Structure 1
Amino acid sequence: MSNDERSAPGHGHGPHDSAHIDWEVFGPVLEQGAELHTPVHEQAAVWLGELLMAQGGAGSEGVRRVLDIGSGPGVVSCLLARAFPAAEVVAVDANAALLERARGRAGHLGLGDRVRTHLAELPDGLDALGGADLIWSSKALHHVGDQRAAVAALAGHLRPGGLLAVAEGGLAARYLPRDIGIGRPGLQARLDAAGEEWFTEMRTALPDAADDIEDWPALLADAGLCTPCSRSFLLDLPAPLSAEARAYVQETLTRGLDLYGDRLDEDDFTTLARLTDPDDAAGITRRPDTFVLSAQTVHTARAQ
């Protein structure tokens, strides 16, 4: 699992199909996506520090241990280490290759003495982690069949007054104008619909899948946590995009084509194939009108 962007527009990409991924190839893609979303994560980290201060804690300086559950290649783990300079940060993920990238990144940034890794699947394998003042998990819990149990498992690792932050939900990313000059107008909306169908089927097929309402503040409260609070953070990268951002959008739409292209009609499939073709004049890498606009919601609550 990973808190970095992994797949189809609007959702992360989790362990249900990890066996089919070449992590040596896909690891850099995850890093690229997480780096692109750095403004969102930085804003969220500042907000979390403010919440800890407002709730009677010592703010960032009082955070001594942070768990990043579903860390992927460790981009956010390192960001949290900088945001909470007195803390040890533990990057937790189910993939050893991604954790190796996390260790390399931390070492390169001079954070190797404060960022360590732990190989574990959520929610199993967390018992050895111990307690934390802050637990962060982004786009990981929705890949666990019983999300309520996963929230409760994480809450059980909070120290008194500690904060659990779950980044789930928000608004699906927008990349394209309504009319892009090829295919039928409104492609993005139809991609979103296909992605939602795929996502629903993915969740239904997970082991121990529970049909809970995805009311994250309620799930946090049911886990015994108090003062639930939510906030959304905007990523707004207007056109024209940088080459790095274009590559991210191309990769994201390519993942969508792979995951749910068979749900599209012939016209939309052809249009999406053209958009993801680097040699097509109408493709993402050559379009001046491609942008990135999304909102990520973070839900928090604290231990008594």
Structure 2
Amino acid sequence: MTHDHGEIDWAEMAPHLEAQAELYAPLYRQALAWLAREVTEPGLVVDVGSGPGVVSSLFAETFPGARVVAADGAAPLLERARARAERLGFADRFGTLAGDLPGALADLDYPADLMWAAQSVHHLPDQRAALAALGGHLAPGGTLAVLEGGLTARFLPRDIGIGRPGFQARLRAVEEDAFTAMRADLPGSVAETEDWPAMLSAAGLEHTGTRSFLLDLPAPVTAATRDYVATSLSRLRERIGESLDGDDRTTLDRLLDPADDAGVHRRPDVFVLVAHTVYTAVRPV
């Protein structure tokens, strides 16, 4: 969607985004298996806000007869998406579409039978209008699948032995405030109750289903999972660190210290537990 591409070095971010999507692949596979039961042999699948194309590739795997288009506003991410398609052997039925979304979808050769928008609609000021615009690029009877909400990732027990118990819950509360501020600061932002089935219906689509999917990576975690946790907390430190109270900021800094036995680089109780929710709707025939 229309992220502020001018302030983010997407070439630098790409490896982190790719690693996270690969880690979440078991969750995405569950969601796509569900969609495969809902959508029969789509001819065109569009991944809206595709990033580096990890999920786009999973769509190509799930629907071997479909053409897949990865659409994003960041060209460096689409370069990685194309390279992945080439590496996995389906470049002949894979395309990319660069530009601000959803406007760039006007360049699609024909309407989509299945459109996927994962954690991207909330970056647009008018989410209801965005859903209507996405639906306008569906073929009659086509499906829009929107991944939004769910339960935020948990990495640590309630009591981690340093700082006050309940650290990650407090971190999440500050993160929620930051998200609210981000939405409010979008030019032309429209306040919206986050009732996604109602928003889809208001956008002229017929809500057909809601399902949540779990990623459960228990301790002890792999090195890749540990790197993801450390990177996620480091990015949170950059975004909201100054909004934490002094004690929680100290705790977060200890968690990020590679030399600290209490940090996430070393402690044995690190895990990842997260749920993502997918809402589906169809364009009326």
TM normalised by structure 1 equals 0.91
Map 1:1-304 onto structure 2 (within 5 A): 1=1, 15-16=3-4, 18-52=5-39, 59=40, 62-129=41-108, 130-304=110-284
Flag structure 1 segments of 5+ consecutive residues without an equivalent. 2-13, 53-58
In 2, Cα distance between equivalents of 1:249 and 1:291: 8
Flag structure 2 segments of 5+ consecutive residues without an equivalent. none
Offset, 1:229: 1.3
Q: Contact conserved, 1:68 with 1:89, CA < 8 A, in 2?
A: yes
Offset, 1:180: 0.7
Offset, 1:24: 2.3
When the two structures are aligned, how many residues end up with a matched partner? 283
Q: Secondary structure at the match of 1:79?
A: helix
Q: Contact conserved, 1:221 with 1:228, CA < 8 A, in 2?
A: no
Q: Contact conserved, 2:220 with 2:268, CA < 8 A, in 1?
A: yes
RMSD of aligned alpha carbons:
1.2
Offset, 1:102: 0.6
Q: Contact conserved, 1:163 with 1:301, CA < 8 A, in 2?
A: yes
In 1, Cα distance between equivalents of 2:207 and 2:126: 23
Deviations 1:190-247 (A, max 9, x none): 0000100000000001122101111111111112212431100000000011000000
Residue 9 of structure 1 corresponds to none
Deviations 1:61-102 (A, max 9, x none): x21100000000000000001101111100000000001011
Deviating beyond 3 angstroms after TM superposition, the runs of 4 or more aligned structure 1 residues are none
Q: Contact conserved, 2:167 with 2:248, CA < 8 A, in 1?
A: yes
Q: Secondary structure at the match of 1:294?
A: strand
Q: Contact conserved, 2:200 with 2:207, CA < 8 A, in 1?
A: no
Q: Percent identity between the aligned chains?
A: 55
In 1, Cα distance between equivalents of 2:221 and 2:112: 38
Question: Which shifted more, 117-126 or 35-44?
Answer: 117-126
Q: Contact conserved, 2:53 with 2:81, CA < 8 A, in 1?
A: yes
In 2, Cα distance between equivalents of 1:282 and 1:109: 40
Q: Contact conserved, 1:68 with 1:136, CA < 8 A, in 2?
A: yes
In 1, Cα distance between equivalents of 2:84 and 2:268: 32
Amino acid at match of 1:47: W
TM normalised by structure 2 equals 0.96
In 1, Cα distance between equivalents of 2:255 and 2:8: 23
Q: Contact conserved, 2:44 with 2:68, CA < 8 A, in 1?
A: yes
Q: Secondary structure at the match of 1:113?
A: helix
Offset, 1:282: 1.5
In 1, Cα distance between equivalents of 2:207 and 2:98: 31
Deviations 1:230-286 (A, max 9, x none): 100000000011000000011011111110111101110111111122222211111
